[in-house]
Structure 1
Amino acid sequence: MVAYPFVGDEVGGSHISAVGLIRALDRSRYEPLVILHRPGKALEAYLTERGLPFLKSPEVAIMSPRHSHGVAGKISRSFEYVRTTARLSAFLSERHVNIVHTNDGQMHATWALAARLSGAKLLWHHRGDPDAFGVNVMAPLLANHIVTVSHYVQPTRPILPVSHKLSVLHSPFNHPTLLPDREDCRREFVREFDLPEETRFVGYVGGLIDRKRPVRFVEVIHAFLQRFPDFPLVGLVFGIPSPDLPNPEPEMRARALELGVQHRIKMMGFRAPVEPCISALDALLVPAINEPFGRTLIEAMLLETPVIATRHGGNIEAIIDDVTGFLVEPEKPEAFVDPLAKLLMNAGEHRHISSAARASALTKYGTEAHVEGVSLLYERIVGRDCRSFGVRTTAT
């Protein structure tokens, strides 16, 4: 049995990847146990739509990789951690869980020690900051294996050697066989906002968090219009703020007003399915820094929407500059202007880049290879064929 604990508040790239893995697992070899700390929120609906049952976690404090400040806070969190670990260890032991597969910072911090004390193996799936405390301190001590979504996010200063238990596996992606009609998708947004028929769209798709630099997206639109003031360009921002992080939307709106591009920026919120939204774009702009390995970037490539991304983080592993997309200097909105002009004003360049991007993504990123890679890691850390795990029944 393999346990997958989640907070449950939101559905982000890590959740989409993990759910894709869980759904594709060979049920004759593995029994997945999905655990939610907070049912009734976004992730429960996402699981239900995909026919995945879950169990509610015991009532415990969710640990955070962010430390409490002050002596009193640290003492309080220490007591909470002891109680949490004891309850979760018992929960895992009672269900004879063989492997705990954690997928984000809070779940690493909450479940890692409990997994090891219960006798289960711990697969630590790292999708974030390579300098993070957890992957450099907790994972070397507690994880049986660490898998990262890119070479960029491998731990930078682990307190113990980890090369013997470290792998890189890119996230799984479904391959769309029938692509949306790009012109139909574009016209939908032209009609929605009552814009001129010739309007062209570029987009930001992702959570509204500072690391992804949504304010820079606004500045890119301004930089392009400074060079081409009469071009009918509109920027579409798809995404919502994280419940646990500062909301950058007020700053985005204020910056757009300051630069005089408030009418050229449309805040789209969360939209599903996302494929028609991405297909409506002439280009996806990725101004992020420290991006581990963005799902949206690969999804755009698969949908033949060209990507212009910062030369930073995992973006470098996904894009070949001027072949399958464009890489530009981070924190420089004006760096996006030349490649964006190429795509918007040269149909041949757009076709060349988008076709090469899709071909590359189809070759490199698929669910089957990801599932097989994770399955081999499960067998490796347990030390035997996972078919001997047995199959048990779970209920929601």
Structure 2
Amino acid sequence: MQQTLFSSNHPIRVLTPFSGDSIGGSYLSAIALIQEANQQRTVNYEIAIHQPGKLEEKLNQLNLPYKSLNLKWITIVDLSKRKKLTLPFEWSITTLKLFRLLKKERYHAVHVHDGRMALTWALPCKLSRTPLIIHQRTKFAKSNITELTYKSSRMIIAITKFVLDSLPATLHSKCVIIDNPVEVPPRDRGTSRKILEDRFGVRNESFLITIIGTHQHQKRQDFAMRIAQTLKERNIETTFFFMGKYGDNTIEKINKKILKKKIDDICIVAGHVESYDYLPGCDLLLAPAVDEGFGRSLIEAITYNVPVLASASGGHLEILQSDAEDSLFKPDDIDDCLRKIYKHIEGKAKFPKIKDYSNERHCASVIEETLRVTTR
């Protein structure tokens, strides 16, 4: 149920708007920041959502207050539709309403967590002289309008050096690198394995490989299916467990691909489920995605003592740095990936070490930088 924005006597008030239509790893990291910061009571983050959806359900579940704006956001796709004559009118209405909100509430800053929110809030922030903080969590998608938008910001937080390096050099002077926070609820392997057996029929003797992520080319789920196909052909007993946020009819499309490859007897497509219930019971997390900005699921798996095998690409390389030779494979290289999988199945792979990704550490860094740009 929608709640009203909480009032606050805190010296620094920061508005954090979201589209509201989805919730993934990036938004979970943003919510973790908001929860930790508001407990510390140094900076007060207030949430706004543009449209009802999955995020609204999550906020209600966590009992986090928010304001529902019921406004359309701006995307690059919209900007390319020159023939849609109503767009300028819609943008003008959205910009005017957001400008009035910022003037009325007098926030010290607006902190956005994706490109759509950056495009939508850049002009209202400029007009109201409200500092805009952009949290860049993915590889920068180059375009003139996006670069212009980012130039209007007061600060850009990049979650990895890989993400920072993807930004235009003209923006680097206003960038800082702050790792994402990742903390997981307590779970044990035995309970998780029992849930997997009861809900999906996973047998205890099967080597369970999980893939977490949306069904898009960057995530390389088709690559994972080819790995499954090869292992089946070589009579290596494995089960592949796919988890992720999928759009309409996507699960049906994935299952059709699995049927075509004749691996439906060793593949389970769970869809958008709470991964914490299942991940601890898996034997290996396979992360074939290329150019990932971060790699939250890697940290979650390692925290649960689940081995990982990821493509040596993007943010993965910044997470897996110590004792990681058995946890990385050449991107899109099936043979290298299979060699590493065999090592994991045989129990001969080294377990990687990672640094501290706690909410407390992340929050302290973000608050320090936020105070720096809002108290100039």
Could you tell me how far 1:142 is from its partner in structure 2?
Answer: 0.8
Matched residues in 1 for 2:88 and 2:220: separation?
34
**Structure 1 unmatched ranges of 5 or more:** 385-396
1:298 aligns with 2:308: no
Instruction: Report Cα offsets for 1:343-381 as digits up to 9, x if no partner.
Output: 1122xx35x41xx43xx2xx3311111101110111111
- Summarize the alignment of residues 163-178 of structure 1 with structure 2, pairs less than 5 Å apart: 163-174=172-183, 178=186
CA contact (8 A) 1:149 1:169 kept: yes
Greater RCO, CA 8 A, separation 6+ = 1
Is the 1:130–1:152 Cα contact (8 Å) retained in structure 2? Answer: no
1:96 to partner: Cα distance: 1.1
1:325 & 1:122 partners in 2: Cα distance? 41
Q: Distance in 2 between matches of 1:135 and 1:240?
A: 28
Structure 2 residues not aligned, in runs of 5+:
1-12
Q: By how many angstroms is 1:68 displaced? A: 4.1
Aligned to 1:338: 339
Residue equivalent to 2:50: 37
Check conservation: 2:118, 2:150, Cα contact below 8 A.
no
Describe the superposition over 1:116-143 as per-residue Cα deviations: whole angstroms up to 9, x where unpaired. Answer: 2112111011112224337961344211
Corresponding residue to 1:271 among 254, 270, 273: 273
Structure 2 residue aligned with 1:64: 75
* Equivalent position of 1:252 in the other structure: 254
Q: CA deviation at 1:85?
A: 1.4
Question: Any conservation in 1 of the 2:207–2:237 contact (CA below 8 Å)?
Answer: yes
Q: 1:116 to 1:336 in 2, by over 3 A?
A: same
- 2:193 matched residue in structure 1: 186
Alignment of 1:321-360 (within 5 A): 323=324, 326-346=327-347, 349=348, 352-353=350-351, 356-357=352-353, 360=354
- Give the Cα–Cα distance (whole angstroms) in 1 for the partners of residues 156 and 240 of structure 2: 38
Secondary structure of the 2:41 match is coil
Checking the alignment, whether the CA contact within 8 Å between 1:186 and 1:201 is kept in structure 2 is no
Q: Distance in 2 between matches of 1:173 and 1:196?
A: 30
Equivalent residue runs for 1:1-396 within 5 Å: 1-26=13-38, 28-39=41-52, 41-57=53-69, 59-69=70-80, 71-73=82-84, 76-133=86-143, 137-154=147-164, 156=166, 158=168, 161-174=170-183, 178=186, 180-227=187-234, 229=235, 231-242=236-247, 249-272=251-274, 274-320=275-321, 323=324, 326-346=327-347, 349=348, 352-353=350-351, 356-357=352-353, 360=354, 363-383=355-375
| Structure 2 CA distance for aligned equivalents of residues 136 and 9 of structure 1 | 21
Kindly state the Cα deviation for residue 276 of structure 1 after the two structures are TM-superposed: 3.1
Deviation at 1:28, TM superposition (A): 3.3
Please give the TM-score of this superposition, normalised by the length of structure 1: 0.84
C-alpha change, 1:281 and 1:2, in structure 2 (3 Å) is same
The SS at the match of 2:76 is coil
User: Secondary structure of the equivalent of 2:361?
Assistant: helix
Give secondary structure in 1 for the equivalent of 2:179.
coil
The aligned residue for residue 392 of structure 1 is none
What residue is the counterpart of 1:393 in the other structure?
A: none
Q: Is the 8 A contact 1:310 1:329 kept in 2?
A: yes
Aligned to 1:388: none
Query: What SS does the corresponding residue of 2:43 show, helix, strand or coil?
Result: coil
Partners of 1:364 and 1:293 lie apart in 2 by: 14
Distance 1:156 1:293, change over 3 A: closer
SS at match of 1:25: helix
Distance 1:147 1:196 in 2: 44
Task: Name the SS of the counterpart of 2:254 in structure 1.
Answer: helix
**How many angstroms apart in 2 are the aligned matches of 1:112 and 1:155?**
22
Letter in 2 for 1:149: I
- Count of matched residue pairs: 363
CA contact (8 A) 2:295 2:315 kept: yes
Q: CA deviation at 1:250?
A: 4.4
| CA distance in structure 2 between the partners assigned to 1:147 and 1:163 by the alignment | 10
Shift in Å, 1:301: 1.3
In structure 2, distance between residues paired with 1:201 and 1:316? 24
Q: Deviations over 1:23-72 (max 9, x none)?
A: 01145322221001113x21112112222100111x43310133444542
Residues 60 and 221 of structure 1, relative CA distance in 2, 3 Å threshold? same
Native 8 Å contact 1:2 1:30 kept in 2 = yes
- Specify whether residues 47 and 366 from structure 1 end up closer, same or farther in structure 2 by C-alpha distance, changes over 3 A only: same
1:81 CA drift (Å): 2.3
- Matches of 2:368 and 2:200, distance apart in 1: 49
The one-letter code of the counterpart of 2:221 is P
> Secondary structure of the equivalent of 2:258?
helix
Equivalent AA in structure 1 for residue 175 of structure 2: L
| AA matched with 2:328 | L
